[in-house]
Chain A
Amino acid sequence: GAVVSQHPSRVICKSGTSVKIECRSLDFQATTMFWYRQFPKQSLMLMATSNEGSKATYEQGVEKDKFLINHASLTLSTLTVTSAHPEDSSFYICSGRIASDTEAFFGQGTRLTVV
């Protein structure tokens, strides 16, 4: 299957700083990528849909100024958590799809800890 690479896998940052998470599709072009947040022992919560060359579409309740998404190329989407707080600590996962009727391919996830 297609490969999505997410980096870093783990990051610890101080409160008030910003953290950038990268999501790359290695062997396919993803015009659309998705960012999810997963709380312990819970399902994935879709945060936003990242569209190449245009603004991301955020789900209700997700602060777009706090979770900045950039999708500058067909193979790279980034999520920046700005002014991080301890409550932003979570597992963040990205995914991409080759076409609208195929399965989603997921990155390995990023464990963010804000101290």
Chain B
Amino acid sequence: GNSVTQMEGPVTLSEEAFLTINCTYTATGYPSLFWYVQYPGEGLQLLLKATKADDKGSNKGFEATYRKETTSFHLEKGSVQVSDSAVYFCALNTGGFKTIFGAGTRLFVKA
């Protein structure tokens, strides 16, 4: 079946550090891939997406590249800020309406 695996958190970084959150997936067909962010007490917001192999999604300094050969969609940011502290969810959709989520990775950024 379809699934998403992302690195366990929490991840704690100092401000301006480089961020990588790993995400790998298992899916039939050609899924669309997403990263969502959840700030404390709020719903999820779409951070970025990629719909086909080798696409790079980017937003607010975050980026992730759809790697079909490694079935990965790792999230990266060159310089994190305190305001980036949140929970990040990797997700996929294979063309049906259901979205499959990873377990989420909590990020803490210290000033």
Cβ of A111 < 8 Å from any Cβ of B? yes
Binary flags per residue of B82-95, CB closer than 8 Å to A gives 1, else 0: 00000001010101
Cβ of A43 < 8 Å from any Cβ of B? yes
Give the number of residue pairs across the A-B interface with Cβ within 8 Å. 57
Cβ of B17 < 8 Å from any Cβ of A? no
Complex alpha-carbon distance, A7 and B45, angstroms: 17
| Interface residue total, chain A, C-beta cutoff 8 A | 24
Complex alpha-carbon distance, A106 and B42, angstroms: 10
Residues on B close to A: CB < 8 A? 32, 34, 36, 41-46, 49, 51, 89, 91, 93, 95-99, 101-104, 106
Which of A41, A107, A109 contacts B106, CB < 8 Å?
A41
Cβ of A6 < 8 Å from any Cβ of B? yes
Complex alpha-carbon distance, A34 and B100, angstroms: 12
Give 11 pairs: A residue, B residue, CB < 8 Å, sorted on A.
Answer: A4-B43, A43-B103, A44-B89, A93-B43, A93-B44, A95-B44, A101-B51, A103-B32, A103-B46, A104-B44, A108-B43
Not counting A101-B51, A103-B34, a sample of 8 additional A-B residue pairs whose C-beta atoms are within 8 angstroms of each other reads: A32-B97, A42-B103, A95-B99, A100-B95, A100-B97, A101-B95, A104-B34, A106-B43
A107-B43, A108-B42 as given contacts; A43 in contact with B89, CB under 8 Å: yes
Residues on A close to B: CB < 8 A? 1, 4, 6, 32, 34, 41-44, 46, 49, 93, 95, 97, 100-101, 103-109, 111
Complex alpha-carbon distance, A105 and B46, angstroms: 7
Contact across chains for A6 and B43 when beta carbons are under 8 A apart: yes
Q: Which residues of B contact A100 (CB under 8 A)?
A: 93, 95-97
Complex alpha-carbon distance, A100 and B32, angstroms: 11
What residue of chain A has the Cβ atom nearest to residue B99's Cβ?
Answer: A104
Q: Which residues of B contact A104 (CB under 8 A)?
A: 34, 44, 46, 91, 93, 99
